[in-house]
Chain A
Amino acid sequence: MSAATSAYVFLPRIRRVPSPPTPQLAAEIAALKDFEYAAAATVEEAVSLLAARGDSARVLAGGTDILVQLREGLRSVDLLVDIKKIPELTVLEYSPETGLKLGAATPCYRIYGDERLRTAYAALCDATRIIGGWQVQSRASVGGNLCNSSPAADSIPALIVHSATCQIAGPSGVRELPVEEFCTGPGRNALERGEFLVSLTFPPPLPRSGSHYLRHIPRNEMDIAVAGAGAWLALDESGRIAAARVALSAVAPTPKFAAEASEYLVGKAPTEEVFREAGELAKKVASPITDMRGPAEYRIHLAGVLVRRALTKAAERAQSGY
Chain B
Amino acid sequence: MATIDQPRSETAGKQYKVLGTRPIRHDGADKVTGRAIYTNDMQLTGMLHGRILRSPHAHARIKSIDTSAAEALPGVLAVCTGADFPDVKDKIAELGEGAVNLAHLSANVMAHDKVLYKGHAVAAVAAKSPHIAEEALKLIRVEYEVLPHVLWVLDAMKDDAPLLHDNVYTEELGGKQSDKPSNIAKHLHFEQGNVEEGFAQADIVIEREFKTATVHQGYIEPHVSVALWNQDNRLTIWTATQGSFTARQQTAEVLQIPVSNVTVVPCEIGGGFGGKISIYLEPVAAILSRKSGRPVKIVMSRAEVFEGTGPTPATFIRVKLGATRDGKLVAAQAYLAYEAGGFPGGVIGPGCMCVFSCYDIPNAVVDGYDVCVNKPKTQAYRAPGATQAAFACETVIDEIAEKLGIDPIEFRLKNAAKEGTRRVDGPVYPRVGFIETLEAARNSDHYQSELTGPYRGRGVASGFWFNVGLKSAASASVNPDGTVTLVEGSTDIGGTRTTVAMQLAETLGIAAEDVIPRVEDTDGVGYTDVTGGSRVTYATGLAAYHCGLDIIAQMKERAAILWDCEPDQVEFADGTFTGPGQSATFKELARRLLETGGGIVGRASVDGGGATNGFGTHIVDVEVDPETGKVTILRYTAVQDAGKAVHPSYVEGQMQGGAVQGIGWALNEEYYYDADGRMRNASMLDYRMPTAYDLPNIETIIVEVPNPKHPYGVRGVGETPIVPPPAAIANAIYRAVGVRMRELPMQPHKVWKAINSQE
Q: Is the Cβ of A222 less than 8 Å from the Cβ of B691?
A: yes
State whether the Cβ of B134 lies closer than 8 Å to any Cβ in chain A.
yes
CA distance A31 to B747 in the complex (A): 36
State whether the Cβ of A216 lies closer than 8 Å to any Cβ in chain B.
yes
Q: Is the Cβ of A291 less than 8 Å from the Cβ of B688?
A: no
Query: Which residue from B303, B685, B749 sits with its C-beta under 8 Å from A222?
Result: B685
User: Interface size bucket, A side?
Assistant: 20 to 34
Which residues in B have their C-beta under 8 angstroms from that of A31?
130-131, 134
State whether the Cβ of A4 lies closer than 8 Å to any Cβ in chain B.
no
Q: Is the Cβ of B129 less than 8 Å from the Cβ of A218?
A: no
Which residues in B have their C-beta under 8 angstroms from that of A219?
668, 688, 690-691, 693-694
Q: In chain A between 58 and 87, which residues have their CB closer than 8 angstroms to a CB of chain B?
A: 72
Q: How far is the CB of B453 from chain A (nearest CB, A)?
A: 19
CA distance A195 to B627 in the complex (A): 43
Q: How far is the CB of B166 from chain A (nearest CB, A)?
A: 33
Which residues in A have their C-beta under 8 angstroms from that of B727?
none
Q: Is the Cβ of B685 less than 8 Å from the Cβ of A298?
A: no
Q: Is the Cβ of B685 less than 8 Å from the Cβ of A223?
A: yes
Given A219-B690, A220-B693, A221-B691, also A295-B749 (CB < 8 A): yes
Q: Is the Cβ of B694 less than 8 Å from the Cβ of A292?
A: no
Which residues in A have their C-beta under 8 angstroms from that of B518?
none
CA distance A34 to B134 in the complex (A): 12
Main secondary structure of the interface of A (DSSP, over half): loop
Which residues in A have their C-beta under 8 angstroms from that of B134?
31, 33
Query: Which residue from B130, B627, B628, B686 sits with its C-beta under 8 Å from A292?
Result: B686
Query: Which residue from B131, B688, B690, B752 sits with its C-beta under 8 Å from A298?
Result: B752
Q: Is the Cβ of A33 less than 8 Å from the Cβ of B688?
A: no
Residue from A219, A224, A302 having most chain B Cβ neighbours under 10 A: A219
Q: How far is the CB of A286 from chain B (nearest CB, A)?
A: 15
Which residues in A have their C-beta under 8 angstroms from that of B303?
72
Given A30-B131, A32-B131, also A292-B672 (CB < 8 A): yes
Given A24-B40, A27-B129, A31-B130, also A216-B686 (CB < 8 A): no
State whether the Cβ of B423 lies closer than 8 Å to any Cβ in chain A.
no
State whether the Cβ of B314 lies closer than 8 Å to any Cβ in chain A.
no
Which residues in A have their C-beta under 8 angstroms from that of B685?
222-224
State whether the Cβ of A294 lies closer than 8 Å to any Cβ in chain B.
yes
State whether the Cβ of A23 lies closer than 8 Å to any Cβ in chain B.
yes
Q: Is the Cβ of A302 less than 8 Å from the Cβ of B628?
A: yes
Given A31-B130, A31-B134, A302-B628, also A224-B686 (CB < 8 A): yes
CA distance A226 to B131 in the complex (A): 35
Q: In chain A between 1 and 48, which residues have their CB closer than 8 angstroms to a CB of chain B?
A: 23-24, 27-28, 30-34
Query: Which residue from A218, A221, A301, A305 sits with its C-beta under 8 Å from B747?
Result: A218
Interface bits B96-133 vs A (CB < 8 Å: 1, else 0): 00000000000000000000000000000000011100
State whether the Cβ of B192 lies closer than 8 Å to any Cβ in chain A.
no
Q: Is the Cβ of A216 less than 8 Å from the Cβ of B130?
A: no
CA distance A23 to B303 in the complex (A): 23
State whether the Cβ of B284 lies closer than 8 Å to any Cβ in chain A.
no
Q: Is the Cβ of A218 less than 8 Å from the Cβ of B748?
A: yes
Q: Is the Cβ of A218 less than 8 Å from the Cβ of B630?
A: yes
Which residues in B have their C-beta under 8 angstroms from that of A224?
685-686
Q: Is the Cβ of A218 less than 8 Å from the Cβ of B668?
A: yes
State whether the Cβ of B41 lies closer than 8 Å to any Cβ in chain A.
yes
CA distance A218 to B749 in the complex (A): 9
Q: Is the Cβ of B628 less than 8 Å from the Cβ of A216?
A: yes
State whether the Cβ of B681 lies closer than 8 Å to any Cβ in chain A.
yes
Given A294-B749, A298-B753, A305-B627, also A218-B667 (CB < 8 A): yes
Q: How far is the CB of A298 from chain B (nearest CB, A)?
A: 4
Which residues in A have their C-beta under 8 angstroms from that of B668?
218-219
Q: How far is the CB of B330 from chain A (nearest CB, A)?
A: 40
Q: Is the Cβ of B129 less than 8 Å from the Cβ of A24?
A: no
State whether the Cβ of B63 lies closer than 8 Å to any Cβ in chain A.
no
CA distance A289 to B248 in the complex (A): 48
State whether the Cβ of B8 lies closer than 8 Å to any Cβ in chain A.
no
Which residues in B have their C-beta under 8 angstroms from that of A294?
747-749
Which residues in A have their C-beta under 8 angstroms from that of B753?
298
Q: In chain B between 683 and 709, which residues have their CB closer than 8 angstroms to a CB of chain A?
A: 685-686, 688, 690-691, 693-694
CA distance A295 to B751 in the complex (A): 13
Q: Nearest B residue to A133 by beta-carbon distance?
A: B691
Which residues in A have their C-beta under 8 angstroms from that of B131?
30-34
Q: Nearest B residue to A220 by beta-carbon distance?
A: B693
Q: In chain A between 205 and 252, which residues have their CB closer than 8 angstroms to a CB of chain B?
A: 216, 218-224, 226
Given A24-B40, A31-B131, also A220-B691 (CB < 8 A): yes
Q: Nearest A residue to B672 by beta-carbon distance?
A: A292
Given A30-B129, A31-B130, A220-B693, also A301-B752 (CB < 8 A): yes
State whether the Cβ of B680 lies closer than 8 Å to any Cβ in chain A.
yes
Interface bits A272-304 vs B (CB < 8 Å: 1, else 0): 000000000000000000011111001001100
CA distance A298 to B681 in the complex (A): 19
Q: Is the Cβ of A216 less than 8 Å from the Cβ of B630?
A: yes
CA distance A222 to B694 in the complex (A): 10
State whether the Cβ of B43 lies closer than 8 Å to any Cβ in chain A.
yes
Q: Is the Cβ of B693 less than 8 Å from the Cβ of A221?
A: yes
State whether the Cβ of B644 lies closer than 8 Å to any Cβ in chain A.
no
Query: Which residue from B49, B630, B680 sits with its C-beta under 8 Å from A27?
Result: B49
Given A30-B129, A218-B630, A298-B749, also A291-B693 (CB < 8 A): no
Q: How far is the CB of A198 from chain B (nearest CB, A)?
A: 30
CA distance A295 to B627 in the complex (A): 15
Q: In chain B between 329 and 364, which residues have their CB closer than 8 angstroms to a CB of chain A?
A: none
Q: How far is the CB of A149 from chain B (nearest CB, A)?
A: 18
Which residues in B have their C-beta under 8 angstroms from that of A226?
748-749
Q: How far is the CB of B26 from chain A (nearest CB, A)?
A: 26
Query: Which residue from B40, B43, B130, B694 sits with its C-beta under 8 Å from A220?
Result: B694
Q: Is the Cβ of A218 less than 8 Å from the Cβ of B688?
A: yes
Q: Nearest A residue to B745 by beta-carbon distance?
A: A218
Q: Is the Cβ of A291 less than 8 Å from the Cβ of B680?
A: yes
Which residues in A have their C-beta under 8 angstroms from that of B130?
27-28, 30-31
Q: Nearest B residue to A34 by beta-carbon distance?
A: B131
Given A27-B130, A33-B131, A292-B681, also A216-B688 (CB < 8 A): no
Residue from A30, A72, A305 having most chain B Cβ neighbours under 10 A: A30
Which residues in A have their C-beta under 8 angstroms from that of B627?
305
Q: How far is the CB of B444 from chain A (nearest CB, A)?
A: 26
Which residues in B have their C-beta under 8 angstroms from that of A27?
49, 129-130
Interface bits B656-695 vs A (CB < 8 Å: 1, else 0): 0000000000011000100000001100011010110110
Interface bits B601-628 vs A (CB < 8 Å: 1, else 0): 0000000000000000000000000011
Q: Nearest B residue to A221 by beta-carbon distance?
A: B693
Q: Nearest A residue to B756 by beta-carbon distance?
A: A301
Q: How far is the CB of B679 from chain A (nearest CB, A)?
A: 9
CA distance A90 to B693 in the complex (A): 32
Query: Which residue from B43, B688, B752 sits with its C-beta under 8 Å from A223?
Result: B688
Which residues in B have their C-beta under 8 angstroms from that of A295?
749
Q: How far is the CB of B126 from chain A (nearest CB, A)?
A: 13
CA distance A23 to B45 in the complex (A): 11
Which residues in A have their C-beta under 8 angstroms from that of B693?
219-222
Which residues in A have their C-beta under 8 angstroms from that of B672?
292
Which residues in A have their C-beta under 8 angstroms from that of B680?
291-292
Q: Is the Cβ of B686 less than 8 Å from the Cβ of A23?
A: no
Residue from A27, A72, A221 having most chain B Cβ neighbours under 10 A: A27
Question: In the complex, given contacts A226-B749, A294-B748, what are 20 additional A-B residue pairs having Cβ atoms less than 8 angstroms apart?
Answer: A24-B41, A27-B49, A27-B129, A27-B130, A28-B130, A32-B131, A218-B668, A219-B690, A219-B691, A219-B693, A220-B691, A221-B691, A221-B693, A222-B685, A223-B685, A223-B688, A224-B685, A226-B748, A298-B749, A298-B752
* A-B residue pairs, 5 tightest by C-beta: A220-B693, A292-B672, A298-B749, A221-B693, A31-B130
A-B contact pairs, 26 of them (CB 8 A): A24-B41, A27-B49, A27-B130, A30-B131, A31-B130, A33-B131, A34-B131, A72-B303, A218-B688, A218-B747, A218-B748, A219-B688, A219-B693, A221-B691, A221-B693, A221-B694, A222-B693, A224-B686, A226-B749, A292-B681, A293-B686, A294-B748, A298-B748, A298-B752, A301-B752, A305-B628
